[in-house]
Structure 1
Amino acid sequence: MDRTRLQHLLARESAEAERRNPRSKAAYARADHLFGRVPMTWMNKTAGTFPRYLGTANGARITDIDGHEYIDFCLGDTGAMAGHSPEAVAAAVQRRFAEQGGATAMLPTEDAEWVGAELTRRFGLSHWSFSLTATDANRWAIRLARAVTGRSKILVNSYSYHGSVDESLIVVGPDGRGASRPGNVGAPCDVTLTSRVAEFNDLSQLERELAHGDVAAVLMEPALTNIGIVLPEPGYLAGVRELTRRHGVLLINDETHTFSAGPGGCTAAWLLEPDMLTIGKAIGGGIPAGAYGLSAELADRLLGRSDLDLVDMGGVGGTLAGNALSVAAMRATLEHVLTDDAFERMGKLAERFEAGVQQAIDAHGLPWSVSRLGARTEYRFASPAPRTGTASSEVADPELEDFLHLYLANRGILMTPFHNMALMCPATTEADVDAHTDVFSVALAQLIG
């Protein structure tokens, strides 16, 4: 690839973004009282010199404050997988907050049992508790795992994503040993004191790490997502389950992103049998919500422990967790929006997206690939697609990603800023998918020259 040409195109698209978005640029410049000029510093992860500011959003469409409409394939990096403000969720939130009141009263609602039963139907785990984020669900699952096993360490896959959980910020270093993930902020201790790490799709490395006998749980995504989609090889997940059982280690599936695989995520689609499962983002239809599930056997073991304070100061709480508003949103999302039928349709749209991208890649002779996980599709700058998180990290190309993100955004298509991910929602259409294919194909033609 001609890098000089790429840099010229990137500069052109960046200048066009500034020309098109004067109100967003001015709003960013005025944000003197925000740390990093944004509500959360990760909002600075954007192509160009400033983020676009949200005006309105509905279904699969976003409009920024400069009046530009976008087909939204980012969907809040999975948080809006139900689409923006789906009607059933909006009605449930309005009813709970404005009509019934008591959005947060430290009292349970009957909706909670309905949501728990539905999560059991989808994922198989029999007992559920709620949080506000998947990060907290993971933190609390880790505490429970340590309590019930008496072991201190957590094993994760290199470059997996579990929010800002301290124990997960570990990667396989150049020497094959665990090392702190680059850029980790304010780590409370050397991450190797709390964690072990193995490459995804590497059972021998996993077995070597579990053999130390100090791992309480393997916390993993059934497919890596936030470093680019890395799919499990045949037999890998079954091997993980066999090794964890052999070594007395609990298995926690984080389905926050892999929920895209179907109504019960990868756990249902691939008949997995975790001891715990964590999920967040999408299940609230845009309202902050998370959950963690436990097997019946594990729940009984924990509830039978009189030495564990699971009621007050046990570290598995949060005053707003399980609040009536979040639970109402979860029920509406699962009952009426992210249904079995919706997932079937979203999966077919993702197949169409995948085929269009692959056709464009082949037409221009690029050594790239496309990976899909249900309703989620991603194109990678490598062929074949990487099989481990470290390999996936190594083929990242920030300059190329920025060009594609800006080119698409300047023409009304929004992708996830962290990577080249596209997600379908119930409101996405075939015309939306085809619009991306057309613009993406032109972008590649200009890139190749």
Structure 2
Amino acid sequence: MSAVAWIATGSLAAWLWLLLGQGFFWRTDVRLPPRRDPAHWPPVCVVVPARDEADVLPLSLPSLLAQDYPGRAEVFLVDDGSSDGTGELARALAERHGGLPLTVCSPGEPPPGWTGKLWAVRRGIGLARAREPEYLLLTDADIAHEPDSLRQLVAAADAGNFDLVSLMARLRVESGWERLVVPAFVYFFAQLYPFRRIGRKGSRTAAAAGGCVLLRTDAAERARIPDAIRQAVIDDVALARAVRRSGGRIWLGLAERVDSVRPYPRLGDLWRMVSRSAYAQLRHNPLLLIGTVGGLALVYLAPPVTLFAGLAAGSAVTAAAGGLAWLVMTATYLPMLRYYRQPLWLAPLLPGTAFLYLLMTVDSAVQHYRGRGAAWKGRTYARPDTAAAEPAPEQR
């Protein structure tokens, strides 16, 4: 067998393992677990960190204020140094729409060793604790909730005795680039963190989706959230790991009634969204970067390349292995396209989308070494080094 045939065979073997041995990551039926209304609806505080979110806040904040939660609930929006009037707009929206009580506050600039979002979350949780909530809902400013969202989250956490219940919000898919890139983003995330494994007792896989995280207050205290993860750029995964390390039970699934309203109409918007944290996902390790690029090439790029190379060279083995690998890849992507209500003809294009993600990952590393890594809304976060060992402000 030629080298190309071996590559095609290796790619096919990888896809057969992914199909059967990676927690059935490709299935999209992991939704909120069975739930029942609790005998007593516990108090909940909703914490919303927001920085320059005036464009999306009119679509998201009213949905939180309109929650039909039977128990006591209120919303804390933490204005993280916005320059577009986010805080003032939030107050105006609350006056216009009514609903749950809203408190708007500002934490000031984050000290060294903190990301802005987690510093804002810390301030929001600090204010919320004075209300003695049993649960905290951490949700982003671009996330819209159906009126029964909070009720369903709390019921699921109570029925399953979960310390953390998180939903991967359905991202916006309207522009051509969003259709090509966004479903693949969730597909790749599920491949890294199979949802079925996350909710399993004794599992070591831990992840959450930062846009919608319901967290028991006592679990947050045990895990020292957010202080224990104050430098995390990928804060949702870090939060889930901290909760699991402290003995908490976690669950993650796909949302049906929670949606992101943030648009990513151009490729550049999606590129920045992915590249700002891709190298952080690899722990800023160049060896992991090389391995990831090689893995993406073998798993996603090799199938179509070896198929056409085999056809051109008249190698039935190479063409068959490459074609079968591409077929399995396409089949595993179909459920995600159905979930996003997208045309199924996009499935065979997944290798092209994977190539874009490969370039985004490499660009993330390049920007990191240029000192512009993890840039978001005017802030740039360097690699966590000595600052990670610094004590939190109240511990100094």
Q: Same fold (TM over 0.5)?
A: no
Q: Please classify the TM superposition score into its range, dividing by the shorter chain length.
A: under 0.3
TM-score (norm 1): 0.25
Calculate the TM-score normalised by the size of structure 2: 0.28
